[in-house]
Amino acid sequence: MAVNELDTEQDLAPSKKKPLSEDEKRKKKIVPGSLMKAVVRSGGGDSGPSDGDQVVYHSTVRTLDGVLVESTRSDYGGNGTPIRHVLGKSKILLGLLEGIPTMLKGEVAMFKMKPQMHYGEDDCPISAPDSFPKEDELHFEIELIEFFKAKVVTDDLGVVKKVINEGQGWESPREPYEVKAWISAKTATGKLIMSHTKGEPYFFTFGKSEVPKGLEMGIGTMTREEKAVIYVTSQYLTQSPLMPVIEDYDEVQFEVELVHFIQVRDMLGDGRLIKRRIRDGKGDFPMDCPLHDSLLRVHYKGTIVNEENRVFYDTRVDNDGEPLEFCSGEGLVPEGFEMSVRLMLPGEIALVSCPPDYAYDKFPRPANVPDGAHIQWEIELLGFEMPKDWTGLDFNSIMNEAEKIRNTGNRLFKEGKYELAKAKYEKVLREFNHVNPQDDEEGKIFADTRNLLHLNVAACYLKVGECRKSIETCNKVLEAKPAHVKGLYRRGMAYMANGDFEEARNDFKMVRIFILYWI
């Protein structure tokens, strides 16, 4: 059995930009001869654990003359539960902080430690157990059972995850997603507590306390088809339908295979408008969703929830089998319908439960849908086309496209859909940031159109009661053209609505002067 003094001469000098960690500061206090290592049984592999690894080990402490001080092993009076630490995260004795990274998996080593390497260290971050001989030089026999890269789920290390098989994609379940998973649970000593690995996977709704809190937190870091072990300590072991009775466990190890989860979105945050993805689409969420105004093609079936799910419309039956085609952002379908479709992927099928105020109470109601009806739509997004890219278009083509969008905004304004109208006007204004007129005539057309759009936006703000924003938008026109009559008039109306009567009177007075001048 070879005995070696551990090489404590490490390059711990901090870079100019990165200060020393607390563990690195502690290591700088190590003096030669204070920590000795003897390999009792060799381990396997090419390297030892490093920062970010969870280490699992048994520890037995004796005095130099062999008197047992403490042990995790049941043979020596311990509870048989190995110790878990995450290097760089856990509070750990200085001798082990320095010594464990020198070990290989399966290795058994004896560390001879001066007091300053265990509980005798100045400002030791761990309190010594009662009657522990912290002033004595001691032997620590350590068996490194395993180590692996750990996903630290909670800062207090109460929930830690070990990935066995990587999953697919990037999305993880969260409230209120619906989850299917194979789950088994063991104590830290390997005793099986429960197993749900046959028949149908365990089904639960995320956020409903249907599995222990720590297990749910760990599953919330997993992706589809991932397999992992989730280590959960007692403070995160809450009662649930999965484990109705929680015994006095210090830790439970859950082996989980995430079979599938259904994306469930609470669109309004109050539980009234719920979208459930019942068939996955193609692409990455949300990058490949029609988030922007687009031409959409969907099949849908609408049912009335309070009438035993009576179908009131089905595109496959009532539309000669043809899908519904509509442009989003134009108020052509109920608001709850459009909000949900914007978060779908091509090929996805979703089930949307919608309250009356986001269905047909504020939208032209089909004759067979009663007032105040709660609606359920089954929607399949067949595909969508993004709006035309203005890049490369000549000036006249750009202005024609702008006029089409402005006209749509005008229609929405007349229908009282002021937010949708404003969005159309603002879309053109954003595109105008990249338009460069080539001569004076184009410049005048461009400036006049831009001013008109700003005033349209100001009108929308005024309609929804945001008078200050209406005034600020009018100012963008009047800063460039102080004698703009329509700009003065609209700002005067906004001042009046805001109670600024003197400012309104001044603007209306200027309008009268300019009109008389032109006459």
Q: Do residues 78 and 57 touch, judged by C-beta distance below 8 A? A: no
Which pLDDT value is given to residue 3?
A: 56
Please tell me the distance from the alpha carbon of residue 356 to that of residue 338, in angstroms, as a whole number.
14
Q: Which of 414, 517, 500 is closest to 491 using CA atoms?
A: 500
Which pLDDT value is given to residue 7?
A: 52
Topology of domain 29-148 in CATH is Chitinase A; domain 3 (3.10.50)
Task: Spell out the residues 6+ positions from residue 285 whose beta carbon is closer than 8 angstroms to its own.
Answer: 171, 263, 343, 345
**Quick one: average pLDDT of 285-306?**
93
Give 311-364 pLDDT, tens digit per residue: 999 999 999 999 999 999 999 999 999 999 999 999 999 999 999 999 999 899
* Domain 159-263, CATH: 3.10.50.40
Backbone angles phi, psi at 94, to 5 degrees: -60, -40
Length of the chain: 519
Same fold, 29-148 and 267-385: yes
Looking only at the bridges linking them, the beta strands covering 3-5 and 227-233 are: unpaired
Domain 267-385 has CATH 3.10.50.40: yes
**Quick one: average pLDDT of 455-476?**
97
Tell me the CATH architecture of domain 395-517: Alpha Horseshoe (1.25)
Give 182-228 pLDDT, tens digit per residue: 999 999 888 999 999 999 999 999 999 999 999 999 999 999 999 99
Domain boundaries, the chain: 29-148, 159-263, 267-385, 395-517
